């Protein structure tokens, strides 16, 4: 059955194509009437008629006719208007064509549109909704220059129930709501808490592989790759118990009093004094350590003042003794403990030390020092590493890491009440992130601050930032705990919880 139907449809299409070709040869356009079809040789036999129901007899017909291209000049309404009323449609789709209605700025011409709308209405055969809307309260009045955007929308909405029906209940509800007041917006913004990702991942697990005959072979598992620089680039030496480094004569860190060799020190001091302490001018010409001027001084060894805990061994001699050292770089976190006497003790953990703890299977932030030392009693870990661990009698108090969040300057009772009531507007005022940390020097920045340079009109004014409570700096344990610090966590949804 389906094959027969497809065959009939195909034959009908072929016949129509042939008929259209013959009609074009006779000068007819694309539109067809019964008379035009019968003008073709071998006319079709009429077998019946179909009664056309006019628009006023179809009720609320959903059928429509497209008249959208009139305003662009693609069609001419007068050429097909006799057929519009006979189609039995309930709607016509018209476009005002703003470029045609306003050919020049401030000059309006609706005559072409009025003529079409008037004809559709006066025909008596079709009461076309869109046309009526445009005629009664549409383009002509909406286009008046002294109407605001809201006036235009209101005018169209009052006479266009069809347009009104297109809105969902939610859209209608939102539309009728009054605008937010400035205070309402301010209150909501004050309740926004910014989430930060604390610190960074210390290591990434990895494997070592080689390729043999095009095949990948794993030769080592359990590798830990640091996620940052372990040390600074400068390599230091050691004289006795003091660390030294070589500096060029013009290096900004070179200080005459730090030069190791006393003879070289006085030669450099004399040259600098002759040029008023200006190193660039003083060393523009070569400086020699002997009268014959055969031994030029280009670099000098200087004491650095570095402590053992600030450096790590990076080079070793044939006997395995360290001969090269490097600063361990940025601090990963600071942990504060309270000893048996009730005194606070600080443990500054560098990124190097954090990686070592990960390497030896220890927690990066040690919250139970006694348990760790019990675990390490029979270990053979390097003494250099063990010396960086906190004392076994210390009780963990708090740790600070870059971008961790704290509530500062809020009384404990007020903090508990605000957390219980989820009073984010109040918590917002006391919410700070850790900006940077050093030995007994902790800088906190208010969580909504995007600038950290403390510049106002191009001038650095750190004191002003403190007065405006954008910045808090504590340089002692007493100053820190006077702020009643509470470490909290803000998730991606802006919800706060105590750590």
Six-digit token string for 453: 């340079």
Domain count, the chain: 3
Residue 44's Cβ-count burial label (10 Å; 0-12, 13-18, 19+) is: exposed
Q: What is the per-residue pLDDT for 55?
A: 58
Find tokens 């347009």 and name the residue.
Answer: 163
Both 286 and 168 in one domain: the answer is no
Token pair listed for 114: 């009025």
Q: What is the mean pLDDT of the chain?
A: 81
- What pLDDT was estimated at residue 335? 96
* Per-residue model confidence (pLDDT) at position 32: 54
Q: Are residues 343 and 447 in the same domain?
A: yes
pLDDT of residue 38: 66
Given 126, 159, 175, the domain boundary residue is 175
Same domain, 354 and 280: no
Are residues 449 and 473 located together in one domain of the fold?
Answer: yes
pLDDT of residue 37: 63
Q: Which of 175, 196, 225 is a domain's end point? A: 175
In a domain, 4, yes or no: no
Domain stop point among 296, 311, 327: 327
- Note whether 355 and 491 are same-domain residues: yes
Same domain, yes or no: 339 and 469: yes
Torsion of CA 101, 105, 106, 107, to 10 degrees: -50
For residue 283, give its domain range.
235-327
pLDDT, residue 477, reads 95
Tell me if 20 is assigned to some domain: no
For residue 31, is it within any domain?
A: no
Say yes or no: 252 and 301 in one domain.
Answer: yes
191 within some domain: no
- If asked whether residues 345 and 479 sit together in one domain, one would say yes
pLDDT at position 139 = 40
Residues 304 and 336 in one domain: no
Q: Are residues 357 and 479 in the same domain?
A: yes
Tell whether 313 and 430 lie within a shared domain.
no
Residue for token digits 């000049």? 73
pLDDT in the model for residue 10:
43
Task: Give the integer Cα–Cα distance in Å for 478 and 87.
Answer: 90
**For residue 440, is it within any domain?**
yes
Q: Which of 187, 303, 320 lies closest to 253, judged by CA?
A: 303
pTM for this predicted structure: 0.58
pLDDT digits (tens, 9 = 90+) for 161-220: 545 556 677 777 777 777 888 898 899 999 999 999 887 788 888 888 888 888 888 888
Q: DSSP characters for 326-380?
A: EE--SEEEEEEEE-TTS-EEEEEEEHHHHHHHHHTT--SS-S-HHHHHHHTTT--
168 within domain boundaries? yes
Is 482 a member of any domain? yes
**pLDDT number for residue 29:** 46
| Structure token pair of residue 30 | 């694309």
For 367, list phi and psi in degrees, rounded to 5. Answer: -100, -10
What backbone phi and psi angles, to 5 degrees, belong to 61?
Answer: -70, 140
5 found inside a domain: no
What span, in angstroms and rounded, lies between the C-alpha atoms of 68 and 75?
Answer: 9
Which stretches in the chain have pLDDT values below 70? 1-44, 50-62, 85-86, 88, 90, 121-167
- For residues 344 and 308, membership in a common domain is answered with no
């Amino acid at each position: 059955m389906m094959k027969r139907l497809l065959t009939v449809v195909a034959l009908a299409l072929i016949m129509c194509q042939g008929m259209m070709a013959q009609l074009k040869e006779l000068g007819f356009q694309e539109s067809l009437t019964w008379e035009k079809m019968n003008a073709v040789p071998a006319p079709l036999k009429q077998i019946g008629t179909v009664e056309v129901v006019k628009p006023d007899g179809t009720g609320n017909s959903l059928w429509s006719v497209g008249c959208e291209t009139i305003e662009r000049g693609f069609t001419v309404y007068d050429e097909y208007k006799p057929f519009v009323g006979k189609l039995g449609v309930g709607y016509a789709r018209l476009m005002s064509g703003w470029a045609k209605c306003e050919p020049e700025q401030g000059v309006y011409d609706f005559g072409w549109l009025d003529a079409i709308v008037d004809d559709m209405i006066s025909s008596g055969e079709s009461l076309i909704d869109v046309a009526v809307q445009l005629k009664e309260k549409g383009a002509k009045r909406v286009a008046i220059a002294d109407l605001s955007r809201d006036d235009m929308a209101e005018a169209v909405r009052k006479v266009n129930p069809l347009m009104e029906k297109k809105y969902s209940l939610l859209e209608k509800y939102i539309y009728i709501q009054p605008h937010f007041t400035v205070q309402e917006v301010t209150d909501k913004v004050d309740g926004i808490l910014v989430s930060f990702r604390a610190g960074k991942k210390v290591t990434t697990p990895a494997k070592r592989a080689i390729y043999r005959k095009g095949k990948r072979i794993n030769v080592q598992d359990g590798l830990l790759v640091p996620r940052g620089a372990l040390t600074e680039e400068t390599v230091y030496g050691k004289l006795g118990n003091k660390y030294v480094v070589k500096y060029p004569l013009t290096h900004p860190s070179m200080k005459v009093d730090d030069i190791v060799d006393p003879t070289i020190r006085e030669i450099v001091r004399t040259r600098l004094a002759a040029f008023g302490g200006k190193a660039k001018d003083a060393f523009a010409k070569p400086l020699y350590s002997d009268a014959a001027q055969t031994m030029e001084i280009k670099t000098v060894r200087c004491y650095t003042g570095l402590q053992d805990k600030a450096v790590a061994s990076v080079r070793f001699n044939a006997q395995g003794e360290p001969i090269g050292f490097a600063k361990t770089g940025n601090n990963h976190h600071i942990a504060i403990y309270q000893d048996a006497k009730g005194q606070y003790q600080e443990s500054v953990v560098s990124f190097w030390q954090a990686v070592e703890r990960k390497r030896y299977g220890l927690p990066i932030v040690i919250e139970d020092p006694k348990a760790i030392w019990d675990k390490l009693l029979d270990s053979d870990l390097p003494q250099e590493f063990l010396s960086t661990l906190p004392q076994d009698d210390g009780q963990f108090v708090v740790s600070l890491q870059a971008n961790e969040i704290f509530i500062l300057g809020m009384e404990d009772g007020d903090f508990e009440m605000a957390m219980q009531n989820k009073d984010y507007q109040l918590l917002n005022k006391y919410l700070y992130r850790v900006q940077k940390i050093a030995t007994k020097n902790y800088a906190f920045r208010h969580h909504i601050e995007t600038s950290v340079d403390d510049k106002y009109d191009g001038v650095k004014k750190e004191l002003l930032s403190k007065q405006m409570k954008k910045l808090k700096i504590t340089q002692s344990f007493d100053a820190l705990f006077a702020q009643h610090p509470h470490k909290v966590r803000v998730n991606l949804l802006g919800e706060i919880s105590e750590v």
